[in-house]
Structure 1
Amino acid sequence: MQREQATREPVIVLEGYSYLECPRWHDGRLWVSDFYTERVVATDGRGTTDVVAEVPGQPSGLGFLPDGRALIVSMRDHRILRRDDSGALTEHADLSGAVSGVLNDMVVDERGRAYVGNFGFDLMGGAPIRYTTLTRVDPDGTVTTVAEDLGFPNGMVILPGGVLVVAETFAGRLSAFDIGEDGALGDRRVWAQFGDTPQSDDVGEVVQQLAVAPDGICADAEGAIWVADALHARVIRVREGGEVVDEIPTGTGVFACMLGGDDGRTLFLCAAPSFAEHERRPVREAQLLAVRVDVPHAGLP
């Protein structure tokens, strides 16, 4: 298929944040984590915002239980927090004994089971790359390792039909798993491969080799996935097998994306000049962008 020509220009929805990640459209608002102000904010997409949670352990992945309560990843203390209707936070699960790095992104299925990634190594401290695990947290807080040997598991989606797709940033691919009735993951396969997977464990070398660095992802009603390419200032729309059928340049780094809005056709983008903590923490240069697309949201989140 010939690649579609993207002529859309992203517009600024919010600005003045540290580093936005893990956007989720829920009940008419976009929820998003701001790493270094340690807040989760919600916006109607028209500039109105509320701080819905303060997470001293640094918020990341977001999701919602079947009853509407929010789950929030607390990265640095390896916990999942649960937010009740009053806004109070309580511990939902402690993953300290199951993970080798700070927690990362998360997707929550329709039964309330959360699938959570972790860094696997000290990215910001310059450590060598180490592949890592994916963890499932059941509604009762039970913690189970469900996949191993993942190259920096990052954004995740659950496609209609029960297929979990996870972005492996430093492996340059999207990997898929079938979700079993009990929540176990099986039949691992490559959903999309972007060039060769780098073989180095040096972050700098890997960054130079990646054709695409898939970060946050979301799915649409045609079964395609929008991918935030963390290294090349763009989002791309990909079909299973790896065909890139659309691309929207952003002019700045983009690290997560989410389809939302009243009709599911607004693509929200978490943008910043870079991802390095020492560059993002002291400044407020992050933005939430939005661009209109043709195919609406589907799947989870």
Structure 2
Amino acid sequence: MDRRTALVPLRYVALPGHGPEDVVADSEGRILTGVADGRILRVDGLDDPSAARVECLAEIPGRPLGLELLPDGDLLVCSADGALLRVDLGGAGRVQMLTETAAGERLRFCSNVVALPDGTVYFTVSSRVHPLRDWMGDIVEHSGTGRLLRLAPGAREADVVLEGLQFANGLVRARDDSCLIVAETGARRLTRFRLTGPRAGQAEPLAGNLPGFPDNMWRGAPDGPVWVALAGPRVPPLGLLHRAAPAVRRRAARLALHVPYRPSATTGVLAIDDDGRVLQRLTRRGSGFRMVTSVCETGGRLVLGSLWERGIAICEAPVVY
């Protein structure tokens, strides 16, 4: 079932920083996000933007992207500069380096992260070729150098469990922890990676030909849907380019990096189930809030983050069947 409805904006909360790329909600309904200068912010009072309180909890050495709250209150942070970090949110703001290597190679462009109950951490690397500032180059080149990595409890180096991904991005656990769902932004698809059962360690398509480029994902309640942020609508000429020879794509990527970029004014999010069925599709054309890179649900509202904007958007959350 694909129920397409309007994405209804309610309010906008300005932040003292640029590009809240990922947004996650804590148990009290407050929003955690990271901005371009390395600060981790917490936003409280979403119902009244004029009275919203923004607190800086920590500052990391790099550009924060994907976030994951841990049961003990600490925060896992993916740094775009190539590291997985753990941040103490209990007042000290202490930053611990968990790993910056995988299979003997320095990491580049860590993107999103999830933690399993046994302490194992999985995280994505979007590209081994292009850094964050050149993300458009990887989307155009279609490099297929994204990876899914695993960091075992107590380990200092990550293992590669899946590679060849097209700009690996958002990551979320299945309801029963039997698999992970990985967003491949460059291929407009979601991929399932099996963690248990006879097919453990194998990957398979979950949902393809999405109406936009999937970015970060969020699951609140274990029995709730997976919310998928769409950073922009599909671009048909890009699909044609991806079928060209690698040398052609590389040349096109170099040219793309010199073209001024402005995100589309069409924004959207999806709600899906663990079988990849689209339960709800929310879109808005002519939106003043561009490049939705993350979405989370709290208090009956959807909260949107963006690599492009200087704040977060609060929208109406539909009933998802």
AA aligned opposite 1:135: L
Which of residues 161, 165, 180 in structure 2 aligns to 1:164?
A: 180
* Corresponding residue number in structure 2 for 1:229: 230
1:156–1:213 CA distance, 2 compared to 1 (3 A): same
Kept in 2: contact 1:167–1:214 (CA 8 A): yes
User: Does 2:35 align with 1:30?
Assistant: no
AA aligned opposite 2:78: V
DSSP 3-state at the match of 1:147: strand
Q: Structure 1, unaligned stretches of length 5 or more?
A: 196-210, 275-284, 297-301
More deviation, 249-258/166-175: 249-258
Which of residues 197, 204, 207 in structure 2 aligns to 1:189?
A: 204
Instruction: Name the one with the larger strand percent.
Output: 1
Which of residues 229, 233, 253 in structure 1 aligns to 2:291?
A: 253
Kept in 2: contact 1:82–1:92 (CA 8 A): no
Which of residues 189, 214, 234 in structure 2 aligns to 1:173?
A: 189
Which of residues 74, 82, 93 in structure 2 aligns to 1:87?
A: 93
1:117–1:2 CA distance, 2 compared to 1 (3 A): closer
AA aligned opposite 1:164: L
DSSP 3-state at the match of 1:139: coil
Matched ranges for 1:1-301 at <5 A: 1=1, 3-6=3-6, 8-28=8-28, 29-34=30-35, 36-46=36-46, 47-83=52-88, 85=90, 86-95=92-101, 97-98=104-105, 101-120=108-127, 121-122=129-130, 124-125=133-134, 126=137, 128-131=141-144, 132-142=146-156, 143-162=158-177, 163-180=179-196, 186-194=201-209, 211-219=211-219, 224-232=225-233, 233-239=267-273, 240-243=275-278, 245-249=280-284, 251=287, 252-261=290-299, 265-271=300-306, 274=308, 285-295=309-319
The offset of 1:15, in angstroms, is: 3.8
DSSP 3-state at the match of 2:56: strand
**Distance in 1, Cα, partners of 2:64 & 2:227:** 23
The offset of 1:68, in angstroms, is: 2.4
1:16–1:10 CA distance, 2 compared to 1 (3 A): farther
Looking at CA atoms only, which structure, 1 or 2, has the larger radius of gyration?
A: 2
Q: Structure 2, unaligned stretches of length 5 or more?
A: 47-51, 234-266
The offset of 1:66, in angstroms, is: 3.4
Instruction: Name the one with the larger helix percent.
Output: 2
Give the aligned length: 264
Q: CA-to-partner distance for each residue in 1:208-239, whole Å, 9 max, x for gaps?
A: xxx41001112366653322111132222234
**Distance in 1, Cα, partners of 2:61 & 2:310:** 19
The offset of 1:72, in angstroms, is: 1.8
AA aligned opposite 2:313: L
The offset of 1:165, in angstroms, is: 0.7
Kept in 2: contact 1:61–1:107 (CA 8 A): no
TM-score by length of 1: 0.77
TM-score by length of 2: 0.73
AA aligned opposite 1:59: P
1:30–1:109 CA distance, 2 compared to 1 (3 A): farther
Kept in 2: contact 1:217–1:228 (CA 8 A): yes
1:271–1:73 CA distance, 2 compared to 1 (3 A): closer
AA aligned opposite 1:3: R
The offset of 1:270, in angstroms, is: 0.7
1:108–1:133 CA distance, 2 compared to 1 (3 A): same
DSSP 3-state at the match of 1:214: strand
Kept in 2: contact 1:66–1:111 (CA 8 A): no
1:139–1:27 CA distance, 2 compared to 1 (3 A): farther
The offset of 1:259, in angstroms, is: 1.6
Aligned sequence identity (%): 25
More deviation, 131-140/64-73: 64-73
The offset of 1:293, in angstroms, is: 1.5
